[in-house]
């Protein structure tokens, strides 16, 4: 891409076909795939050995094919605090996404697998986590925002404000939101202030802290 | 029965002949000592003998398996020899010697009787060694007495307790008797208790009268000695102490034997009660208790042939291990050659009264047939229940397998294909509407497969449990749902059943009820998981309608639970499932 050294990526997925496709896609987007693993243990060893910038890990791996990828992410995060991790998941479950970033959202992402069908989306997500940002799949955010509620402060938000809240929950920065919606940064900042005051959230949170606060509010703040 | 009677009467006649013979010898002898016995005392003596004879007849007719009558016969014979001791026969003569030597044998026979009770047989090595030893001692004592006792003694002065002028050797002999006779009695009582402990309830019941009579006999025998020794003749006559003691001494044991035999007779009367009881009808499963009461054996086991052919089941349908029948009496009850049931009971009950169990079995035949059918149906029901649970578990396993196949097979391929398509499009460098369309279709297919897999068996249910899975359902619902569920985990079949009940109820509410809010409550108390789904909709739902709930009713029932739908018109709908939690 540019003169900067390429981002070094390790892949973990037990499905060879998909892993190869992912590797091809990432390489085509300018990443350096430094290693591939087919289970959690091999992943741990690979990370130890090749010190990548980002790990892209499938949520389902042997032996139970349920949520090994999430556990691997938490474990790797403890062992390598600076390592960025993107979990590719088949599950549209808000619990998994919110739990992943609950304690520390920096450089963590939860992306649905069908999202990676577009090279650009995958590359964008990998770059964002590599840069210390957070990524939450829009479909998961839509589920969080869309849960029917009897009485909700969300009802008091304007359409635009709801849109911005969703993008914040996906892990976008104010600049990211502005770019996405084609708005001035100042305008976005004004909306964010409004949203925070309507929802009763602390106003000056930024970056990953803001993602955590918004997600926690969406998932646990107001009951159905 | 007739043979029993004739044999009993034969033995009774022999005993009567012994008694009459003894009496004749005494009556025809003009001996002074015998004359001091008053006519009323003689009559009492004869009455006592009659009681013994009646006891023997009762025993032989009621308990023919018992050999006790032989010991009783022996004791009668020995009793006559003791009587002949009243005659002034010089011990050192051909007739006098055996009469003298066997004069104290009656005490040995009593000890024999107590130890051999109730079968009449010596049961173990100790008994077989001890009883002959007592007999030998009784004779040996007399031999020693004959050699060392002072010559100026009257015919009964070898009584060990009687106070006599001191004489070295004689003192040794009589004090050895004084010490050993109570010891022997004590041993016999201990043996009686030990034998009782080995018996079942039926045998113990039969032992009860003897347990009172034997100590009574020992005490009265000793009291008799002391009365003889320390009360003078006038005082004895005045108080009748010796007479009373001798009556207690001689009657306690035959009366105990008769009471025991009479108890068996009472058991027969229970058969008549049983007929009445059965006539009034017995609740299914209650027959064992009724029969146990009739044969007076609380340990009675009632077993029926298992429906599958081999083995037995109880009235509750549970399998009974035939090994537990070992050492017990098994009575088969059949009808036209077909086994209806087996009665398994205490061998002592059968020895007590061999016909009783069979009588009870035949009286209860019809009731047994009913109970057998009920037991077999229960056993089959248990089997069906188990198989239904297995079917549900197999279906769940199959759904999980399909879910995995979809995720790890079809979905992976579709995603990989979409990615390669995108790479191809990038490489082609030009945007193609056709390729865009294909990508969109592929992504829709991936989403569909994902939803299909989730519907089959959501991973969150396996991985995080019922509460989070229900919470995830609520997020996806079209109307607000409040969830109250514990974080606790339950067994996989219970979690799956509860989850699908909630999912189906929510789907129905969303489709038909016109509700604005739903509450899902999950509680686990008293070993049961309760799930309630309440909506504020229009109600009036038909619980029988819709295959969804119908299938869930079966699923819940397969786990031994219940599903209830309350849906009064205008009053909202409540679906409640209750599932037993495996301990």
DSSP per position, B186-232: HHHHHHHHHHHHHS-HHHHHHHHHHHHHHHHHHHHHHHHHHHHHHS-
What is the Cα–Cα distance from A69 to A62, expressed in whole angstroms? 10
* Residue contact A90–B426, C-beta within 8 A: no
Query: Residue B262: in which H helix or E strand, if any?
Result: helix B241-280
Dist. CA A87–CA A60, nearest whole Å = 10
Can you tell me whether residue B301 is helix, strand or coil?
Answer: strand
Note the pLDDT tens digit of each residue in A67-111: 999 999 999 999 999 999 999 999 999 999 999 998 888 999 999
CB crowding B530-562: b at 16 or more within 10 Å, else e: bbbbbbbbbbebeeeebeebeebbebbbbbebe
Give the pLDDT band (50/70/90) at residue B105: confident
Q: Kindly state the helix (H) or strand (E) to which residue B335 belongs, with its residue range.
A: strand B329-335
> Cα angle at B302 between B299 and B303, to 5 degrees?
135
Answer yes or no: is pLDDT of A130 > 50.
Answer: yes
pLDDT at B360: 83
The pLDDT confidence band at residue B240, using thresholds 50, 70 and 90, is: low
Average pLDDT over residues B197-204: 70
Looking at chain B, the whole-number percentage of residues with pLDDT higher than 90 is: 19
Q: What's the whole-number mean pLDDT along residues A132-144?
A: 94
Measured between CB atoms, which of B404, B423, B460 is closest to A24?
A: B423
Q: Phi first, then psi: give them for residue B436, nearest 5 degrees.
A: -60, -45
Interface of A with B in 163-192 (CB under 8 A): none
The yes-or-no verdict on residue B162 having pLDDT over 60 is no
CB atoms B446 and A65 under 8 Å: no
- Tell me, yes or no, if A113 comes closer than 8 A to chain B by beta carbon: yes
Contact B350, B357 (CB under 8 A): yes
With bands split at pLDDT 50, 70 and 90, how would you rate the model's confidence at B273? confident
| B167: pLDDT strictly greater than 70 | no
Residue A158 is predicted with a pLDDT of 93
Residue B239 confidence class, pLDDT cut points 50, 70, 90: low
Question: If pLDDT is split at 50, 70 and 90, which confidence band does B527 have?
Answer: very high
3-state secondary structure of A82: coil
Q: Are strands A32-37 and B329-335 parallel, antiparallel or unpaired?
A: unpaired
pLDDT at position B54? 87
Give the span between the Cα atoms of B532 and B397, in whole angstroms.
26
Q: Do A118 and B474 touch (CB under 8 A)?
A: no
List of chain B residues whose C-beta atoms are within 8 Å of the C-beta of residue A150: 480, 516-517
Tell me which H or E stretch contains A17: helix A16-28
In DSSP terms, B304 is beta-bridged to: B313
The rounded radius of gyration (Å) of the Cα atoms in chain B is 44
- CA A115, A119, A121: angle at the middle one, nearest 5? 50
Q: Which residues in chain B have their CB less than 8 angstroms from residue A15's CB?
A: 408, 412, 416
Query: Residues B343-380: pLDDT tens digits?
Result: 888 877 776 666 778 888 888 888 888 888 888 888 88
Query: Between helices B433-456 and B412-428, what is the axis angle to 10°?
Result: 170
Q: How many other C-beta atoms are found inside a 10 Å radius of the C-beta of residue A189?
A: 14
* Touching A: B residues 415-444, CB under 8 Å: 415-416, 418-423, 426-427, 439, 442-443
Size of interface A-B (CB pairs under 8 A): 108
What pTM was computed for the model?
Answer: 0.63
Looking at per-residue pLDDT, the higher value among B245 and B311 belongs to B311
Question: What is the CB neighbour count within 10 angstroms for residue A143?
Answer: 19
A145/B contact by beta carbon, under 8 A? no
pLDDT tens readout for residues A28-79: 899 999 999 999 999 999 999 999 999 999 999 988 888 999 999 999 999 9
ipTM of the complex as predicted:
0.91
**Distance in angstroms (rounded) separating the CA atoms of residues B482 and B502:** 12
Average pLDDT on B142-159 reads: 63
Q: CA distances (Å), B178 to each of B50, B185, B226, B250, B462, in order? A: 31, 12, 11, 21, 85
Nearest to B578 by CA among B564, B562, B566, B565: B562
CA atoms of B219 and B230, how far apart (whole Å): 16
Q: How far apart are alpha carbons B426 and B437 in whole angstroms?
A: 15
Q: Which of B416, B462, B482 is the closest to A17 by Cβ? A: B416
Residues of B in contact with A25 (CB under 8 A): 419, 422-423
Answer yes or no: is pLDDT of A10 > 60: yes
pLDDT recorded at residue B160: 46
Residue B399, phi then psi, degrees to nearest 5: -65, -40
Q: CB of A90 within 8 A of CB of A112? A: yes
Burial B78-91 (b: 16+ CB within 10 A, else e): bbbbbbbbbbebeb
Taking 80 as the threshold, does the pLDDT of residue B168 lie above it?
no
Q: Is pLDDT of B426 > 80?
A: no
pLDDT digits (tens, 9 = 90+) for A167-216: 999 999 999 999 999 999 999 999 999 999 998 888 777 777 888 889 98
Mean of the per-residue pLDDT values for chain B? Answer: 82
**Which stretch of A3-17, A160-174, B86-100 has the lowest confidence by average pLDDT?**
B86-100
| A144 close to B (CB below 8 A) | yes
- Give the residue-averaged pLDDT of B100-104: 80
Q: Does the pLDDT at position A2 exceed 60?
A: no
At residue B155, the 3 state secondary structure works out as coil
Check: CB of residue B14 under 8 Å from CB of residue B67.
Answer: no
Largest CA distance in chain A: 53
Contacts of B457 in chain A (CB under 8 A): none
């Amino acid at each position: 891409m540019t003169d900067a050294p390429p981002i070094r990526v390790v892949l973990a997925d037990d499905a060879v076909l998909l892993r190869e496709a992912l590797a091809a896609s990432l390489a085509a987007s300018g990443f350096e795939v430094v290693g591939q693993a087919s289970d959690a243990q091999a992943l741990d060893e690979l990370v130890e050995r090749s010190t990548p910038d980002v790990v892209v890990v499938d949520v389902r791996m042997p032996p139970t094919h349920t949520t090994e990828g999430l556990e691997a992410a938490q474990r790797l995060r403890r062992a390598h605090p600076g390592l960025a991790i993107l979990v590719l998941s088949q599950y549209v479950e808000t619990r998994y996404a919110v739990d992943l970033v609950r304690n520390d959202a920096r450089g963590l992402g939860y992306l649905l697998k069908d999202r990676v069908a577009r090279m650009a989306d995958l590359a964008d997500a990998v770059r964002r986590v590599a840069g210390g940002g957070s990524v939450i799949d829009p479909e998961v955010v839509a589920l969080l925002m869309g849960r029917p509620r009897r009485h909700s402060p969300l009802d008091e938000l304007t359409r635009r404000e709801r849109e911005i809240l969703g993008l914040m929950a996906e892990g976008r920065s104010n600049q990211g939101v502005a770019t996405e919606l084609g708005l001035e940064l100042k305008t976005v900042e004004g909306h964010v202030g409004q949203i925070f005051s309507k929802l009763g959230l602390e106003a000056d949170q930024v970056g990953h802290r803001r993602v955590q606060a918004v997600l926690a509010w969406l998932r646990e703040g107001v009951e159905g | 029965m007739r043979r029993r009677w004739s044999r009993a009467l034969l033995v009774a006649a022999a005993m009567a002949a012994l008694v009459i013979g003894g009496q004749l010898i005494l009556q025809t002898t003009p001996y002074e000592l015998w004359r001091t016995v008053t006519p009323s005392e003689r009559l009492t003596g004869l009455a006592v003998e009659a009681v013994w004879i009646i006891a023997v007849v009762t025993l032989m007719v009621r308990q023919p398996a018992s050999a006790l009558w032989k010991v009783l016969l022996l004791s009668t014979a020995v009793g006559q020899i003791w009587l002949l001791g009243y005659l002034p026969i010089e011990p050192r003569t051909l007739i006098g010697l055996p009469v003298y030597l066997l004069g104290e044998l009656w005490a040995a026979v009593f000890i024999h009787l107590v130890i051999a009770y109730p079968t009449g047989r010596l049961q173990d090595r100790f008994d077989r060694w001890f009883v002959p030893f007592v007999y030998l001692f009784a004779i040996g004592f007399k031999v020693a007495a004959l050699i060392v006792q002072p010559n100026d003694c009257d015919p009964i002065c070898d009584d060990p307790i009687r106070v006599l002028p001191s004489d070295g050797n004689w003192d040794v002999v009589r004090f050895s008797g004084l010490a050993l006779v109570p010891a022997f009695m004590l041993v016999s009582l201990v043996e009686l208790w030990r034998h009782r402990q080995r018996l079942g309830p039926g045998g113990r019941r039969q032992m009860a009268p003897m347990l009172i009579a034997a100590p009574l006999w020992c005490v009265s025998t000793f009291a008799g000695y002391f009365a003889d020794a320390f009360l003078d003749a006038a005082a004895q006559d005045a108080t009748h102490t010796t007479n009373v003691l001798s009556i207690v001494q001689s009657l306690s044991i035959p009366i105990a034997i008769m009471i025991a035999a009479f108890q068996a007779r009472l058991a027969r009367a229970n058969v008549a009660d049983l007929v009445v009881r059965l006539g009034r009808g017995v609740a299914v499963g209650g027959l064992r208790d009724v029969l146990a009461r009739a044969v007076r054996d609380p340990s009675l086991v009632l077993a029926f042939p298992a429906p599958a052919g081999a083995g037995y089941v109880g009235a509750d349908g549970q399998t009974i291990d035939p090994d537990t029948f070992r050492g017990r009496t098994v009575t088969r009850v059949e009808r036209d050659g077909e086994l209806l049931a087996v009665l398994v009971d205490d061998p002592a009950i059968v020895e007590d009264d061999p016909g009783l169990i069979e009588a009870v079995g035949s009286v209860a035949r019809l009731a047994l047939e009913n109970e057998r059918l009920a037991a077999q149906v229960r056993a089959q029901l248990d089997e069906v229940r188990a198989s239904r649970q297995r079917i549900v578990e197999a279906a769940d396993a199959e759904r999980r397998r399909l879910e995995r196949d979809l995720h790890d097979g079809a979905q992976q391929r579709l995603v990989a294909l979409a990615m390669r398509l995108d790479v191809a499009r990038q490489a082609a460098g030009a945007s193609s509407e056709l390729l865009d369309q294909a990508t969109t279709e592929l992504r829709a297919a991936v989403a569909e497969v994902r939803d299909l897999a989730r519907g089959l068996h959501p991973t969150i249910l396996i991985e995080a449990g019922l509460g989070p899975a229900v919470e995830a359902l609520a997020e996806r619902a079209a109307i607000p749902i409040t969830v109250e569920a514990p974080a606790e985990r339950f067994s996989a079949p219970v979690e799956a059943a509860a989850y699908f009940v909630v999912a189906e109820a929510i789907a129905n509410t969303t489709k038909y009820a016109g509700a604005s809010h739903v509450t899902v409550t999950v509680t686990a108390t008293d070993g049961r998981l309760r799930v309630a789904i309440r909506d504020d909709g229009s109600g009036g739902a038909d619980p029988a309608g819709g295959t969804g709930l119908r299938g869930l009713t079966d699923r819940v029932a397969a786990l031994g639970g219940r599903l209830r739908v309350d849906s009064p018109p205008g009053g909202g709908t409540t679906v409640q499932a209750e599932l037993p939690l495996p301990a």
